[in-house]
Structure 1
Amino acid sequence: MITIDTFKRGFNNGLKTLIDLLKLMVPIYIGVQLLSLSGLLNIIADIFSPVMAVFGLPGETSLTLIVGIFTGIYGALGTLAAIELNAVQTTTIAIMVSISHNLIAETAVVKKLGVNGTASMALRLFFSLLFGFLYSRIFG
Structure 2
Amino acid sequence: MDLRRVIKLGIKDGVETTWELAKVIVPVFFVITFFKHTPVIGWMVTMFEPITLLLGLPGEATMPIVIANALTVYPAIPAITSFSFTTKEITIIGTMILLCHSLPVETMIARKSGANGLFILIVRVLAAILAGIILNLFMGG
The yes-or-no answer on 1:115 pairing with 2:115 is: yes
Count of residue pairs the alignment pairs up: 140
CA-CA distance at 1:38 after TM superposition: 2.3
CA-CA distance at 1:9 after TM superposition: 1.1
The yes-or-no answer on 1:18 pairing with 2:18 is: yes
Query: Any unmatched runs of 5+ in structure 1?
Result: none
Determine the C-alpha separation between the residues in 1 that align with 2:2 and 2:90: 38
Determine the C-alpha separation between the residues in 2 that align with 1:4 and 1:34: 44
The equivalent residue for 1:33 is 33
Over 3 Å counting, the alpha-carbon distance change for 1:6 and 1:38 in structure 2 is: same
Identity %: 24
- Provide the secondary structure at the position in 1 that maps to 2:55: coil
Query: Any unmatched runs of 5+ in structure 2?
Result: none
CA-CA distance at 1:3 after TM superposition: 2.3
Runs of 4 or more, structure 1, over 3 Å off, are: none
| TM-score normalized with structure 1 length | 0.92
Over 3 Å counting, the alpha-carbon distance change for 1:59 and 1:2 in structure 2 is: farther
Determine the C-alpha separation between the residues in 2 that align with 1:107 and 1:59: 26
Q: Is the 8 A contact 1:65 1:97 kept in 2?
A: yes
| TM-score normalized with structure 2 length | 0.91
Alignment of 1:1-140 (within 5 A): 1=1, 3-140=3-140
Over 3 Å counting, the alpha-carbon distance change for 1:53 and 1:2 in structure 2 is: farther
Determine the C-alpha separation between the residues in 1 that align with 2:92 and 2:17: 27
Alignment root-mean-square deviation, CA: 1.4
Determine the C-alpha separation between the residues in 2 that align with 1:118 and 1:46: 27
Determine the C-alpha separation between the residues in 1 that align with 2:105 and 2:18: 22
